[in-house]
Amino acid sequence: MIKQTNRNLMIMWFANFFVAGSMTMVLPFISLYIETFGDHSPTYVQHWSGSTFAITFVTAFLFSPVWGRIGDIFGRRKILILSGIGMGISIFLMGYVTNVWQLFFLRLFMGIFTGFIGMSQAFISTQTPKEIAGRVMGTLQTGSITGSLMGPLLGGVLADLFGFADTFKWTSIAIFVSAFLVLFTKEHRIETKKGEKTRYSSKAVIQHIVRNPILLTVMLISTLVQIAHFSIQPILSLYVSELHGPENLAFFAGIAFSAAGLGNLLMARQWGKIGDQHGYIKTLVVLLFLAGIFYLPGGFVTNMWQLVLVRFALGVTIGGIIPVRIAYIRQEAPVAMQGEVLGYNTSLRFFGNIIGPVIGGLISGYLGFSAVFVVTSLLLILSGLILLGAMNRHPKLVKDSY
């Protein structure tokens, strides 16, 4: 079983690499793509960039727990394949849109299938011993991080060479490759402990979450973290334009996106190991405070390369939050409900993805880019304080290590 688990991990590493790379290929220039649809004001573009970016996560927010529950009952392999095909078709059609409404509705439709990486995390998590969950999930995340690192750079190059529309078409091919790779995985059921249920109702799953205040807090904080992280994403290329100018803008926006991915790549697995050894909750508190501290200077940089340095430092810290959080959920949720619990966690993350870009677009439109970084920093520090408070109120629920 260990051999098959390692094989699945390797395959899903590459699948996540292609999905994350494909998704981030187009992120740096969504706002620039919208500008090609007509002569619009900067405020109009900023607001629509946030809304178009966020709408994918509205449907993803609704469907993630549903897919998680279906995965718990019927297995996750088929859902992963369906997800890849759905995303591939949606992104391919985006290369043919002629106005912002068409792009808006295609991204809304894509949200139904957007949980590929979250589902792959549940797929691997349920087959991983709890005591090494942080390290394994950190390893899996390096696949999506590496894709996220290369995606914006490649997307910027393709956009400069072939234009925005053709970049969407090329991007869809990599998504289809990810779905194809899943065909080579094998899903095995994890044997439950004697007396442990093999199936839980949705009501029982929700009750399990609510009765564990630390678990509930970790999941709710997922929303705050995503609001903070995604508030700058859809307008980052506009910020780069303000700092650097219009020359090769897509390429330099890609560098700014990728800087965070590089820091993330270098430390995600290490943070997972630290969580395994010293406790996931304590590690999460440290990561939240550090991410808040490193985010703040981004609003006060005076050139492009200072922004790149700040985003690299941010990536070093924020990159550990996802694998450590998933490892903690793996530790606290019975195997038969882990997919649905992770689905709710993914749904809360997507809820943050909905709010974050809209807030970022509004704040930048009325108060400027620097204000977005200040608000983001405060949200991350607030998340750390909330989790620290929950940890102090319920010390018996906090494990130093597995």
User: How does pLDDT run across 332-352, given as a tens digit for each residue?
Assistant: 877 777 778 888 888 888 888
CATH number at residue 87: 1.20.1250.20
**pTM as predicted:** 0.76
Whether 402 maps to a domain, the answer reads no
- Total of domains in the chain: 1
Instruction: Please list, in sequence order, all residues whose beta carbon lies within 8 angstroms of the beta carbon of residue 260, skipping any fewer than 6 positions away.
Output: 311, 312, 314, 315, 318, 319
Judge whether residue 385 has pLDDT over 90: yes
Mean model confidence pLDDT for the chain: 81
In a domain, 54, yes or no: yes
* DSSP per-residue string spanning 275-316: HHHH-HHHHHHHHHHHHHHHHGGGGG--SHHHHHHHHHHHHH
Residue 355 covered by a domain:
yes
| pLDDT exceeds 80 at position 129 | no
On whether residue 192 sits in a domain, the answer given is no
- Is 188 within a domain? no
- pLDDT of res. 306: 86
User: Does residue 191 fall inside a structural domain?
Assistant: no
Give the span between the Cα atoms of 74 and 66, in whole angstroms.
12
What pLDDT is attached to residue 255?
Answer: 79
Range of the domain at 142: 2-183+198-397
pLDDT-derived band at 158 (thresholds 50, 70, 90) equals: confident
Question: Does pLDDT of 292 surpass 70?
Answer: yes
Q: Does residue 368 fall inside a structural domain?
A: yes
Q: Please give the average per-residue pLDDT across 252-271, as a whole number.
A: 79
**How many other C-beta atoms lie within 10 A of the C-beta of residue 130?**
14
**Whether the predicted pLDDT of 401 surpasses 60:** no
Using alpha carbons, select from 173, 140, 143, 181 the residue that is nearest to residue 25.
173
Is residue 193 domain-resident? no
Q: What mean pLDDT comes out for the span 229-254?
A: 75
**363 token code pair:** 């704040």
For residue 93, what are the CA distances in angstroms to 51, 97, 106, 156, 336? 19, 7, 8, 19, 37
For residue 108, pLDDT beyond 80: yes
